Each structure stands twice: as structure tokens, then as C-alpha cells.
């Protein structure tokens, strides 16, 4: 029970910190000092205290979307192994449920983008849908090899299986992880897919969809984006590298697991920060190629697991 | 070539030329204008630097429209002109010399003179709410009056077809940049057409010049395009010096070169950073901004102003560079060169960055030529023009200026031209510092301008050449200042480079030109 509570709270509580850390890494890579790692908390606080401007043409979709996607983002971590291998949350643990919860979020965001009739919202939504259709396949195919190895689509059981595999069979999983990493960058709008810090509307994807939002609803959307980012980091760290997960629910074991999982997450965030600082954004029409590469990696991994 | 040789080679027998400072003026009857201008432009390949009109109804009862052609490497300009009576039209050159289009539109909007045969006569620079019966540059229009707004909306060209939609962007943009409206017609992500609408920063500068004193005029010229303060005011000061017969001391002309090149470096470094930043390679962005800031701070240390305002004066400059400062400039530009080359090497090894720059926003050589494109954009499209070489001024004849030329015409070419020019600027600055002559930094004499004269002065701003046309009246007072910034010619060429690219690449292409809205609108 307490574990479920932790799972519900960990995302919203820690996700702004993750955004702060990745911004700090970006700043470091650019020889800047950068803002404090807790700045995103202040940003959310600021947005929650601001007035909103909502277009008179906006329908209920525009108003409801921030709440819907925020709620979905809270549910996301319920099914994944967070600290131990003995957690279970039946329905939410199926990796296809996770993939389609993400798709549901994208669906509502894209609708909200079109809803106000603004130019930028429209093409942000069109770009996002083009990419997310491809990303969905990459995500499924990167998780599929592990599902096949462990003969289950339950994420917690999948983590249990991968942690007990001999290192020699780890190679296909690593290939699948690279595919997963590409999907992660696409889903969370990092470079080379999208530039989260640009002000140029014409180049935006995610930011263009939400360009009409302000105040509290914008805060919720920003918070959701942060949640999604942390969720992907935890998913990657615990499914592909499930070492250090506690096998019991002893307090001591769990505390050790907290430290190990935090280390893994930080390493992954560091890798994302360094990679995105050292490349440029791809030309929009080259992005499908990159996603296709991710898909092929998934398929290779799938073949490799069956040899 | 001497004066008489130039006349013999370029001018038809029938005309009677007169010399006014550096201009060879000759009146042309309306029916021969096209033939004479086309001969100069096409047969002799002389560049058309600008077309400016002047209201001389008070003295001659006519408007004069001057077609200013330059003779590269010579100190004289050839200026055929037509006299136009009020209510009369003048022949349009658009069919033969395409780049004359914007000049004719401007004369039509500002003077109310009709270019016969030019069919593109929508309001130009002036807002469409401005009544089309007031012409601000006529002498009888008072600069302080505010005419009643008319209710009008300007049409945009309509591109129709299945799946084609319009994207309106601006005039107010994200970030701290100048205003301008862009109307894209796109099919999916591909841009079918782009129509920029400018004029939002029109400040009536050319009109303001007519009511100002000379020191005020210098200040105004520094503000025509803020990032080019020094080169803009240099062009203006040179024009006045030519009219006043003032000789600038040697030391001042060297200092002018050093300041010009510092300005060029600061802006090029900034642009290199911003081009990289627009590919989302933010490391390059912050690196470029840092290097630019170093130069800007050096400028402040030397002159007390980050953008070198208040430095140019008639007869020289106001700020000297002491021997200690010379040392520190030398040390700074040398260390900056090392840092800059390091950045360029990092970028050259980044395939993802180069992929964004190469083949993006190609401006074809022929298009660049027809639009009369100048400066970085021209040199990147294989047209070797550079006012520092073609019309040497200040101490540039003593400098070894190299044309930084590329031939691919894409964003990468414009990026590389900038890089090459930063390196060249460093060499020029070091050369000028080593050979800095001693003596005065400005010529103090009472200024009397030649009455009823005209002059043209050209400098190479960091974007491209800047042309000032200055005329005086019978009392030796400045009666007309015509300004042609590089942006005036380059803006209309941007849509040509953009068509066929995709929408998310537009900011990058636009940044690779980085034109001045204010310089275009004035």
C-alpha cells in the first residue's frame, strides 16, 4: 500500500527536479552556470499564480486536456517496477497499456492544439501525430524482445526476468535499449526531435501544440511533460537495467534500492543531457529515418533473442 | 581612369556631363532613359547602386530622379537623371533592370511620381492606412503633420490549390527582434511562396535629416540600423566631408578601419552563434555569443559605447586608441582567433549541424544578380562584391582586404563567408594597429558645404554596402539625404531562397541573411 502511494507521488514530486538537473547539464555543456536545479518548482509556482487567457473559440477539450493528461501521467508509474521486484498492480503493469496511455495523452494534446484554430497549434499537432505514429512502433518493438524472453507482457515480471539473465544473453536487450532511447528522445521532445528551449514557433513540435496555454493550465502541461520525462527515465533504468531492485519489501532493502535507482536515473539523465548538447536538431523529414532506425534495432533485437 | 576617359568610355556622345564632387551628372530625356541605363547596366556591367529622387521644385520647378551607377575601382559615379514635373510620370526600368523595382515603388510612395510601365504599385514601406494622397518626402509635406488614417487593408497574394494553406507570422515575433509580417503559403511543410510585409519600423528618417543640424544628423545616421551604427555614420560623415572638401587625417582613417572591423567581427560572431543556435546546437550558440560579447566590451572600453556610437565625427573620429590599448586589442583579438578556430573545428566535425546548413536556403547566382543582392548574401552566391575593394575608403587602400567568396549560395556558404570575414577582420585590425600613423584624429575646420551639389558615399557594413546620397541647396544646407542599406536590396531576395524549403528551416535561412528591418524601412 505504501509502495503504491510512493509510486503515485514520486513522479509529480521529483519530476521538476529532473528537468532542473537536465537544464543544469545543458548549461554546463554550454559553459554556462545555469539556473538552480530547483528552478522548475519556482516556475510551476509562478504559473499556478498567474491569470489565464483562453480563446473564446476554445471548446471543453482545450479546458479539460491539461487535467486529463496530468491525471494519466500520474497513473503511468503504477505498473512499472520502481524499487522492488515484488510490486504488482495487475492491469497497469501491461506494457501495452503504458504505450497506449502515452498515446492517449498525445491524442488529447493534439486535439487541444487544433481546438483554438491557431496556426501554430495546428501544425504542432500535425507534426506531433506524424512522429508519434512512428514512435509508438519503436516503443513497442523495443519492449517486445524482453516480453518475449520473459514470456509475459507484465513489466514487473519482465524486470524480474531480465535481472536474472546471464550477462551473455544481455546483448539483444542492449540493442533494444538503443531503440528505446530513440523513442524516449522523441516522446519527451528532446533534441534531435524537438528543441524544448526554442522560441521559434515555426520550428516547434510540442511547444507549438501548447502555444495557446497560459497560467494554471500551462503549469499542469509543463508538469505533465516533466512527469512523462521522469517516467521514461525510470522505465528505461528499471526494465533494461533492472539491477539493484529489491527482492523483498524490507525497509532496509528498499532504502538501498532507492539509492541504486536514483543513481541509474541520474546516469540516464546525464547521458540524455550530454547527447542532446552535442548534436543539432535533425531536419524534420529526417526524423522518420531516425525512428525507422529505432524500429530496426527493435527488430534485430527480436531476432537475436530467438536465436 | 581619369574623368575624361570615363566619359569617353561610358557616356553617349550626345549628353553634356557636369561634375559635382564625385558624381558625373547628366540630364537624360525621358524617352532615352531606358536605353542609356540599360547600356550602363548590361553592356558595361556597371552596378546600379541606388535610385533616389529629390524634390527641387523650389529651385528648378522639377523633381529629379537620379540613377546612380558606380564604376568599380574608380572614384567617380555615373548619374543619369530625369527631370519630372509635378503630375508627370517617368519611365520605369523594371522590365530591363529588375532591381530598380523597389526604388521605383519607393519613389512612387514617397514622392507621388508614377513610374510608367511598373505594374507593382502597392503602398511601399508606408502603412496601408497612410492616405495615398500624402507624399512624405515632398518639400511641402511637413514632417510634424499627422495625416488622417484611411481604412484600408493590403492584399496578400493568394496561392490556391488542394491542401495549400497560409501561415501568417508576425509582425510581432517571439524573442527580442524587430517587427515584420511573413505570409507563407505552404503545402504540408513545403513552402510554396513567402511574402514578407515590412515597413513597421518606418521612422521617416530621410525626412528627419532635412530638419536636423549636422551633429544631429550624425546621431540619426547611427540609428538607421542599430547594429551597424559605426559604418552607417561613417558613410554619412564621408559624404559630408566630400561636400565640405575636408581631408581626414591619416590616423583617423586608420582608426575608422579598426572600428569598422570591430563592428563587423562582433556581428559576424553573433550570427555564427545564432545560426548554430537555430540548428539547436546550443553549445555553438553560447560560444558565439560569448565571443561577440568580448568584442562589444572591448568597444565599450575603447570608446565608451558598446555599439561605437558617438565615435564618428565630420573630419575624423572622437576617440583615440592609446599605445597601451593597442596592445590589449592585439592580445584580445589573437586569443579570440584561437577560440574561434576551435569552435569552427568542433562544428566541422558535427555531421548533424552540417546537414542542417548544407543545401538549405539556396540563393541562385542569377537570382542574386537580378535582385542586385549585395554583401554576405552576394559573396555566398559567387558574386565577388565588396565595397572595401571596389570603392576603397578610409585606410582600406593600405589594407590587404580579401573577398570572402563561396559559390553554393546556401546557409552553409553564408555561414562560411562570415567565418572567413572574421579571420580577415582580425588580420586587418592587427595590420592597422602595427602601422597606425601618428598625428591628429580629426580635422577641425569650420564646415562650409558646396551649394547645389550632390555626392555619394559607400561603405561596406557587415551585411553589405551602405550607400548615402546627399544633396545641398543654394545656401549650402543639406537638402536631401537618401539612404540605401544592404537590407533594402537583400530583403526581396529572401523569399527566393526560402521557396521549396520546409517551414521549420525558415528561421535558419532567415538568420543566415540576418537582415535589418530598420535599415529597410528607415
Per-residue pLDDT tens digits for A190-211: 888 888 777 777 888 888 888 8
* Range list for CATH 3.30.460.80 in chain B: 3-116
Q: Does A119 touch chain B (CB under 8 A)?
A: yes
Can you tell me the distance from the alpha carbon of B522 to that of B510, in angstroms, rounded to the nearest whole number? 20
- CB pair distance less than 8 Å for A283 and B502: yes
What are the chain B neighbours of A30 within 8 Å (beta carbons)? 282-283, 285-287
What are the chain A neighbours of B273 within 8 Å (beta carbons)? none
Can you tell me the distance from the alpha carbon of B252 to that of B191, in angstroms, rounded to the nearest whole number? 49
Contact (CB, 8 A) for B347 and B273? no
What are the chain B neighbours of A29 within 8 Å (beta carbons)? 283
Q: Does A94 touch chain B (CB under 8 A)?
A: no
- Work out the widest C-alpha separation in chain B, in whole angstroms: 71
What are the chain A neighbours of B504 within 8 Å (beta carbons)? 202-203, 283-284
Can you tell me the distance from the alpha carbon of A235 to that of A225, in angstroms, rounded to the nearest whole number? 15
| Minimum Cα–Cα distance from A25: chain B residue | B283
Superfamily for the B205-473 domain: Cytochrome-c3 Hydrogenase, chain B (1.10.645.10)
What are the chain B neighbours of A202 within 8 Å (beta carbons)? 167, 169, 503-504, 506-507
Whole-number percent of chain B with pLDDT over 90: 40
Q: Which of B282, B294, B350, B498 to mutate to test the interface with A (most CBs of A within 10 A)?
A: B282
- Grid coordinates representing A245 are 531492485
Contact (CB, 8 A) for B265 and B295? yes
Contact (CB, 8 A) for B457 and B238? yes
Question: Positive or negative CA dihedral for A105, A107, A113, A115?
Answer: negative
Instruction: Give A84's DSSP letter.
Output: B
- CB pair distance less than 8 Å for B280 and A280: yes
pLDDT tens, position by position, for chain A (307 residues)? 677 788 888 889 999 999 999 999 989 988 889 899 999 999 999 999 999 999 888 899 999 999 999 999 998 888 888 887 776 667 778 888 989 999 999 999 999 989 888 888 888 898 899 899 999 999 999 999 888 888 888 888 888 888 777 777 788 888 899 999 999 999 898 888 888 777 777 888 888 888 889 999 999 999 999 999 999 999 998 888 888 787 777 788 888 888 888 999 999 999 999 998 888 888 888 888 999 999 999 999 888 887 6
Average confidence score pLDDT of chain B = 89
ipTM score of complex: 0.83
B291-336 residue pLDDT tens = 999 999 999 999 989 999 999 999 889 988 888 888 889 899 999 9
Q: Is the peptide bond before B171 cis (omega within 30 degrees of 0)?
A: yes
| Minimum Cα–Cα distance from A203: chain B residue | B504
Domain B3-116 coded CATH 3.30.460.80 = yes
* Range list for CATH 1.10.645.10 in chain B: 205-473
Facing residue for B279 by CB, picked from A119, A202, A281: A281
What are the chain B neighbours of A119 within 8 Å (beta carbons)? 167-169
Q: What residues 399-428 of chain B have any CB closer than 8 A to a CB of chain A?
A: none
- CB pair distance less than 8 Å for A278 and B507: no
* pLDDT reported for residue B426: 93
pLDDT band at B142 (very low <50, low <70, confident <90, very high): confident
Q: Which of B275, B277, B504, B514 to mutate to test the interface with A (most CBs of A within 10 A)?
A: B504
Q: What are the structural domain ranges in chain A?
A: 2-306
Q: How far is CA A238 from the centre of its chain?
A: 13
Amino acid at each position: 500500500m505504501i509502495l503504491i502511494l510512493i509510486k503515485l507521488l514520486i513522479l509529480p514530486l521529483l519530476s521538476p527536479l529532473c528537468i532542473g538537473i537536465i537544464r543544469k547539464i545543458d548549461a554546463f555543456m554550454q559553459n554556462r552556470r545555469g539556473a538552480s536545479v530547483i528552478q522548475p518548482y519556482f516556475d510551476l509556482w509562478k504559473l499556478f499564480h498567474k491569470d489565464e487567457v483562453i480563446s473564446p473559440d476554445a471548446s471543453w477539450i482545450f479546458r479539460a486536456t491539461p487535467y486529463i493528461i496530468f491525471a494519466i501521467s500520474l497513473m503511468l508509474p503504477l505498473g512499472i517496477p520502481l524499487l522492488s521486484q515484488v510490486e504488482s498492480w495487475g492491469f497497469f503493469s501491461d506494457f501495452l497499456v503504458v504505450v497506449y496511455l502515452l498515446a492517449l495523452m498525445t491524442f488529447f494534446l493534439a486535439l487541444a492544439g487544433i481546438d483554438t484554430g491557431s496556426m501554430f497549434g495546428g501544425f504542432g499537432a500535425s507534426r506531433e501525430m506524424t512522429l508519434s505514429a512512428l514512435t509508438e512502433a519503436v516503443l513497442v518493438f523495443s519492449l517486445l524482445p524482453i516480453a518475449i524472453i520473459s514470456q509475459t507482457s507484465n513489466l514487473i515480471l519482465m524486470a524480474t526476468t531480465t535481472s536474472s539473465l546471464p550477462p551473455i544473453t544481455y546483448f539483444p536487450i542492449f540493442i533494444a535499449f538503443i531503440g528505446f532511447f530513440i523513442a524516449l528522445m522523441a516522446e519527451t521532445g528532446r533534441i534531435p526531435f524537438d528543441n524544448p528551449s526554442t522560441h521559434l514557433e515555426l520550428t516547434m513540435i510540442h511547444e507549438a501544440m501548447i502555444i495557446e496555454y497560459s497560467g494554471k493550465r500551462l503549469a499542469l502541461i509543463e508538469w505533465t511533460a516533466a512527469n512523462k520525462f521522469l517516467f521514461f527515465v525510470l522505465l528505461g533504468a528499471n526494465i533494461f537495467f533492472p539491477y539493484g531492485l529489491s527482492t523483498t519489501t524490507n525497509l532496509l532493502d528498499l532504502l538501498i534500492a532507492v539509492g541504486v535507482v536514483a543513481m541509474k536515473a541520474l546516469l540516464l539523465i546525464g547521458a540524455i543531457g550530454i547527447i542532446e548538447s552535442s548534436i543539432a536538431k535533425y531536419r524534420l523529414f529526417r526524423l522518420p529515418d531516425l525512428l525507422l532506425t529505432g524500429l530496426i534495432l527493435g527488430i534485430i533485437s527480436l531476432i537475436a533473442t530467438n536465436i | 581612369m581619369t574623368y575624361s576617359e570615363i566619359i569617353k568610355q561610358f557616356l553617349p556622345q550626345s549628353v553634356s556631363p557636369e561634375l559635382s564632387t564625385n558624381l558625373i551628372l547628366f540630364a537624360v530625356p525621358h524617352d532615352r532613359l531606358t536605353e542609356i541605363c540599360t547600356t550602363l547596366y548590361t553592356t558595361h556591367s556597371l552596378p546600379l547602386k541606388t535610385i533616389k529622387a529629390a524634390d527641387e521644385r523650389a529651385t528648378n520647378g522639377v523633381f529629379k530622379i537620379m540613377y546612380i551607377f558606380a564604376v568599380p575601382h574608380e572614384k567617380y559615379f555615373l548619374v543619369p537623371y530625369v527631370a519630372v514635373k509635378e503630375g508627370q510620370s517617368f519611365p520605369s526600368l523594371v522590365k530591363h533592370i529588375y532591381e530598380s523595382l523597389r526604388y521605383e515603388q519607393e519613389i512612387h510612395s514617397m514622392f507621388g511620381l508614377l513610374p510608367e510601365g511598373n505594374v507593382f504599385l502597392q503602398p511601399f514601406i508606408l502603412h496601408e492606412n497612410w492616405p495615398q494622397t500624402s507624399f512624405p518626402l515632398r518639400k511641402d509635406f511637413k514632417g510634424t503633420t499627422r495625416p488622417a488614417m484611411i481604412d484600408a487593408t493590403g492584399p496578400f497574394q493568394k496561392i490556391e490549390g488542394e491542401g495549400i494553406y497560409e501561415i501568417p507570422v508576425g509582425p510581432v515575433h517571439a524573442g527580442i527582434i524587430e517587427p515584420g509580417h511573413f505570409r507563407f503559403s505552404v503545402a504540408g511543410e513545403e513552402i510554396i511562396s513567402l511574402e514578407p510585409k515590412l515597413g513597421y519600423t518606418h521612422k521617416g528618417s530621410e525626412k528627419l535629416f532635412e530638419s536636423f543640424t549636422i551633429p544631429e544628423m550624425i546621431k540619426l545616421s547611427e540609428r538607421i540600423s542599430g547594429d551597424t551604427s559605426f559604418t552607417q555614420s561613417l558613410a554619412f560623415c564621408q559624404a559630408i566631408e566630400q561636400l565640405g572638401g575636408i581631408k581626414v587625417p591619416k590616423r583617423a582613417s586608420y582608426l575608422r578601419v579598426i572600428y569598422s572591423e570591430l563592428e563587423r567581427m562582433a556581428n559576424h560572431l553573433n550570427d555564427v552563434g545564432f545560426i548554430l543556435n537555430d540548428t539547436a546546437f546550443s553549445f555553438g550558440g553560447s560560444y558565439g555569443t560569448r565571443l561577440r560579447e568580448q568584442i562589444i566590451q572591448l568597444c565599450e572600453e575603447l570608446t565608451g559605447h558598446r555599439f561605437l556610437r558617438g565615435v564618428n565625427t565630420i573630419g575624423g573620429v572622437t576617440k583615440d586608441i592609446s599605445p597601451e590599448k593597442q596592445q590589449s586589442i592585439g592580445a584580445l583579438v589573437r586569443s579570440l582567433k584561437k577560440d574561434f578556430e576551435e569552435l569552427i573545428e568542433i562544428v566541422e566535425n558535427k555531421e548533424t549541424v552540417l546537414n542542417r546548413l548544407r543545401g538549405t536556403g539556396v540563393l541562385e547566382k542569377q537570382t542574386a544578380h537580378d535582385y542586385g543582392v549585395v554583401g554576405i548574401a552576394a559573396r555566398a552566391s559567387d558574386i565577388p562584391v565588396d565595397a572595401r575593394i571596389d570603392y576603397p575608403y578610409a585606410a582600406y587602400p593600405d589594407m590587404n582586404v580579401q573577398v570572402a567568396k563561396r559559390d553554393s549560395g546556401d546557409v552553409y556558404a553564408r555561414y562560411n563567408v562570415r567565418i572567413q570575414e572574421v579571420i580577415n577582420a582580425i588580420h586587418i585590425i592587427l595590420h592597422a594597429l602595427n602601422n597606425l600613423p601618428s598625428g591628429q584624429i580629426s580635422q577641425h575646420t569650420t564646415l562650409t558645404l558646396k551649394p547645389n551639389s550632390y555626392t555619394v558615399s559607400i561603405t561596406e557594413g557587415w551585411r553589405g554596402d551602405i550607400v548615402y546620397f546627399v544633396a545641398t541647396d543654394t545656401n549650402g544646407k543639406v537638402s536631401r539625404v537618401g539612404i540605401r542599406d544592404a537590407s533594402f536590396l537583400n530583403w526581396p531576395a529572401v523569399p527566393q531562397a526560402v521557396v521549396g524549403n520546409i517551414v521549420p528551416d525558415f528561421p535558419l535561412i532567415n538568420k543566415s541573411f540576418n537582415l535589418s528591418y530598420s535599415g529597410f524601412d528607415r
